[in-house]
A and B are shown apart, each in its own frame.
Chain A
Amino acid sequence: MEPKVITLTVNGRKHQVALPPNITLLRALREYLHYTDVKNGCEKGDCGACTVILNGKAVNSCLVLAWQADGGEILTVSGLGTTSNPHPIQEAFADTGAAQCGFCTPGMVLAAKALLDENPHPTEEEIREAISGNLCRCTGYGPIVEAIQIAAERLAEGGQK
């Protein structure tokens, strides 16, 4: 159980942090590096609240051991945009009321980002499939699906990123 110094690049910022081996990427991000925009929901890969984009792929950070992400690039929702300068996906979520309690929102937005990076013009079915690992208990998903559709349109029209 000796700690090891690992390097995580989060939202473009490089961190070196000493971690014991039994720390998940989720805990490393939240408790050691204070990226509390990554949410801790079920801690067993069911809810998707802890979704981050690790080396280009959306993953459940609660299932990744932090050492496995050593040297990796991580995007969390706070790296996507800010309140004053939101990403088109974040803007669309606000526009359609896709966030109610907001707990699933960081993961949901990142799942949408991973989808649109790979498939800029998804069908509704593809959107629903892409967010099937992210649970929302408030919205009934309708406004979320709509937000992702709107975001896709805006991005196609030349919204930044």
Chain B
Amino acid sequence: MLPEFDLVMPRSLNEALQVLAAGSPEVLPIAGGTNLTVDMRSGRYEPKVVVDIEKLPELKGIRRENGQICVGGGVTIAELLKDGLVAETAPVLKSACALFANPLIRNRATVGGNLVDGSPAADTAPSLLALDAEIELTSQDGKRRLPLDEFFIHVRKTARQPNELVTALRWALPKPGTGSAFYKLGLRKADAISVVSVAVVLEAEKGVCRKARIALGSVAPRPVRAKNAEEFLTGKLLKKEVFEEAAALTAQAVSPISDVRASAEYRRRMSAVLTRRMLEQAAEQTGWKE
């Protein structure tokens, strides 16, 4: 049985923001309900008021906008997975969506919900971090955009204020010479919670790395970037020894815990192994052969 709450069904974003305007943590938005319904049943969250944002048209749609891709916060994982624009401009995100839970959950779960949940294992987070995505938060007071890297704070803690909704995510169109790769290590092939996940995006010119993004899930209290490895890679020739060094640096950037799925030590080692492999794959896609 779910605990008691009032359910408000606004018809527009403005109406929804009005309900959230008091900024009370006891008022929570629901979209697909794949997290919140479960969390209310377990007692993790006990909202007095739930605001249904699932069908708000302002949170829907995937489009090109001023040299960027803009995805509404209420877009489902299944919609991302099927979208041509995502496949073309952000294959690293498409790969993550293909391994996101299972088809039933993907039909309901939204990208905004996946991020606000604040789970270190959020499947879309590493790819969106590696894409340098920006997250748009909207309240009655207006909109603000921040780099996704500044959005994640700790386990179940994000920069979202109680009066805000995640209205959009944006990332830049890939430059020529961009390569990317994603890997989710789980305990089974589908419907798994990641043990370690790694997303890599590289921009290269004649084999020299111009920009590197390495982001990992389930290896720290929040989805993290290996900024030390990114910096190390920048300006380097993309080759085996360089990838090995970057992978070793990545292992230093993570702070995993041991849990029912894996030990901290295993997670740290796999962070290095998978990062090296993803760097190799991404480098190959930049069109450069060592």
Contact = CB atoms under 8 A, between A and B. Distances in A.
Interface of A: 1-2, 20-24, 43-45, 48, 51, 57-60, 62-65, 67-68, 111, 114-115, 128-130, 132-134
B194 to A, nearest CB: 15
Nearest to A58: B104
Given A22-B4, A67-B52, A58 B103 contact: yes
B28 to A, nearest CB: 12
Nearest to A110: B104
Contacts of A24: 2, 37
B33 A132 contact: no
Contact of B54 (A2, A44, A68, A114): A68
B95 to A, nearest CB: 14
Contacts of B9: 67
B7 A48 contact: no
Given A68-B33, A129-B190, A1 B5 contact: yes
A133 B1 CA distance: 22
Given A58-B104, A58-B107, A21 B5 contact: yes
B32 A63 contact: yes
Contacts of B190: 128-129, 132
A-B CB proximity, top 5 nearest = A133-B102, A21-B7, A132-B190, A133-B104, A22-B2
A60 B4 contact: no
Contacts of B103: 58, 111, 114-115, 129-130, 132-133
B108 interface: yes
A59 B107 contact: yes
Given A45-B104, A63-B38, A65-B52, A133 B33 contact: no
B41 interface: yes
B6 interface: yes
A60 B5 contact: no
Contacts of B3: 22
A48 B106 CA distance: 13
A88 to B, nearest CB: 21
Contacts of A57: 78, 107
A67 B7 contact: yes
State the majority secondary structure of interface residues on B.
loop
B52 A48 contact: no
B262 interface: no
B5 A59 contact: no
B7 A65 contact: yes
Interface string B19-47: 00000000000101110011001100000
A2 B32 CA distance: 22
A130 B190 CA distance: 10
Given A57-B78, A60-B105, A21 B6 contact: yes
B253 interface: no
A51 B41 CA distance: 18
A43 B6 CA distance: 21
Contact of B34 (A51, A63, A114): A63
17 contacts: A21-B6, A21-B7, A23-B2, A24-B37, A48-B102, A51-B104, A58-B103, A59-B107, A63-B33, A63-B37, A64-B37, A111-B103, A114-B103, A129-B103, A130-B103, A132-B189, A132-B191
Given A51-B104, A129-B103, A132-B103, A45 B5 contact: no
B101 interface: yes
Contact of A1 (B4, B101, B102, B189): B4
| Most chain A C-beta atoms within 10 Å of own C-beta, residue among B1, B104, B107 | B104
B50 interface: yes
B66 to A, nearest CB: 32
B139 to A, nearest CB: 23
B88 to A, nearest CB: 21
Contact of B102 (A22, A63, A132): A132
B271 to A, nearest CB: 26
A58 B102 CA distance: 11
A12 to B, nearest CB: 21
A134 B190 CA distance: 11
